[in-house]
Structure 1
Amino acid sequence: MQHRALGDSGLQVSAITFGNWLTGGRPEDAGDCIRAALDAGITTFDTADVYGAPEFGAGETVLGDALAGRRREGLVIATKVCLPTGPGRNDRGLSRKHITESVTASLRRLRTDHIDLYQAHRHDPSTPLDETMAAFADLHRHGKIGYLGVSEWTAAQITQAHALARELRIPLVASQPQYSMLWRVIDAEVTPACARLGISHMVFSPLAQGVLAGRYRPGRTAPDDSRAKHARGGRFVGRYISQAVLAAVERLRPIAVDHDATLAQLALAWVLANPQVASAIMGASRPAQIADNVKALDLTLDDATMTRIDAALTDPEHGDLVERDPAKTAKPFDVMPAWRW
């Protein structure tokens, strides 16, 4: 397993991070997958207080249970705060109250006394950023969090937060955006800003919700066990399931074959070729997926291969199928649909 520095800090994260967004609520699946991730050399685990079913926090609970008894010093545990975890107005956002209460609950569920990377799950325009950063600084000084990150923040928001973090002497070193061959909205603004500020990406959905793994085929119905049929996953994967995009993914298959790789391995290798990416967050519903996908670390994609990939993602009728608009960065949490409340 490769390890890479997270931003300009001394923290090393595994190049593949295990994420338990959808598997968090099924202990019988998630526990086996987490143990398989450890066996594959993965040392970094990403979750959030909002992950899991039938109730929020289940993802953290499953992760904490699966990691119990492991050498804590050898692990990097990341979780998040912001999205709604209850019906009340203070059960969400980045106020001091919600951050303080959320981190206490996360520590209990994760069965640990500190969180290595604590991330603001979305930007919160309803709370002054000074209040948010001061709350994070207090947690850092008390040893409850080691490093700070953000997820799906714009370049301007990250730059403002980083300036406050420097004043407060807390290490803001990570950004967790969505990023894949098909979704490159961070390239124009967020990535240059992060490079300038010494912030690394830990990217989610590098397989575009399974589309880049060849999970869906042109002209065929989505498999019953796929994310497209999942109540929560379906609203994310739906943006990719067009006949033009699925046909483009089929054009990627010969490129993968030429590298003796699967489509998933090719997609992960493409993401990890970006020097600003410290780690790609990979979910799994079966342990075998993990052992297979980590082989992406053995792939090296040269310039000619990168050019072939871009050509495959261009459609004669629809043109460039890659989403590049920086305005497509996820909306702040207060305009997102709540999953339960």
Structure 2
Amino acid sequence: MSRIQTKNGTPISRLGFGAMQFGRTADARSAQEMFEACVAAGINHFDTAYSYNGGASEHMLGQILMGRSDDLIIGTKAPNDRPATADNLRAALDESRKRLGIGAVDIYYLHRFDAETPFEETFGTLAEMQSQGAIRYIGVSNFAAWQIMKAQAVCKVIDTQIDACQPMYNLVKRQVEVEILPVCADQDISVCPFSPLGGGLLTGKYTSGAEGRLQEDKVYATRYGQPW
């Protein structure tokens, strides 16, 4: 049972919605329609990132929220193109909150593992942000199991914890079952996986000739476009 809740005390929904395509393949109208459909279905968890589409995803999601954030869990991620230093994290969080139009980010993830910056600086900064009310829960994304445990050990020393982990996980990418899921279960870390449908692969749409990220995105083509 996840300890993550909305500001109003509602538990995080079992399903979440990834806004990665907001400002890319989803324009303002379709983004609004998808958001409203999710809320109507009981979904209160919406995920984005500082780096998605040059900030357009955060900005578009923020325009849709319009004062409703207390009823929702909004997750975003630190930039993935620069070290996770104190200055970089503070500047990026301020920009993300401005784009989203919210005072506090519910789940703030490190988008990737940073081998250059000491964990004490990175997670010490996240802990400060948390104590100041700028973020509510600390998350990590694209971390290996040993990296999660190293980070968790640092967090324990400064009286905080990792609350959420966002790994890639679906029926054709199941590596997380070996170590990451057991680590998260042991450490009481909520798992909020990305790419659950494999870029559309698991919907079956490509068997009927439909187009999508497997044709348009080199990363997805490499990840999911293999003959097997």
Q: TM-score, normalised by structure 1?
A: 0.62
> SS of the counterpart of 1:169?
coil
5 Å-filtered alignment, 1:134-213, equals 134-213=124-203
Matched, 1:227 2:213: yes
Contact 1:80 1:120 in 2 (8 A): yes
> SS of the counterpart of 2:98?
helix
Q: 1:61/1:200 Cα in 2 relative to 1: closer, same or farther (>3 Å)?
A: same
**Alpha-carbon distance, 1:6 to partner:** 4.3
Q: Deviations over 1:39-82 (max 9, x none)?
A: 21110110000012xxx111001111111132x32111100003
Q: Deviations over 1:213-243 (max 9, x none)?
A: 10212xx7x534x11232xx34224332234
Contact 1:148 1:172 in 2 (8 A): yes
Aligned with residue 63 of structure 2, among 62, 65, 82? 65
**Alpha-carbon distance, 1:191 to partner:** 1.4
Structure 2, unaligned runs of 5 or more = none
**Alpha-carbon distance, 1:5 to partner:** 1.6
> SS of the counterpart of 1:14?
coil
**Alpha-carbon distance, 1:30 to partner:** 1.5
CA separation in 2, counterparts of 1:138 and 1:69? 25
After the TM superposition, list the runs of 4 or more consecutive aligned residues in structure 1 that deviate by more than 4 angstroms: none
Contact 2:215 2:221 in 1 (8 A): no
Partner of residue 50, structure 2: 49
CA separation in 2, counterparts of 1:236 and 1:141? 38
5 Å-filtered alignment, 1:1-341, equals 5-6=2-3, 12-25=11-24, 26-52=27-53, 56-70=54-68, 72-84=69-81, 92-217=82-207, 222-224=209-211, 226-230=212-216, 233-244=217-228
CA separation in 1, counterparts of 2:139 and 2:23? 21
> SS of the counterpart of 2:192?
strand
Structure 1, unaligned runs of 5 or more = 85-91, 245-341
Q: Deviations over 1:306-333 (max 9, x none)?
A: xxxxxxxxxxxxxxxxxxxxxxxxxxxx
Cα-Cα RMSD: 1.8
Q: TM-score, normalised by structure 2?
A: 0.91
Q: How many residues align?
A: 222
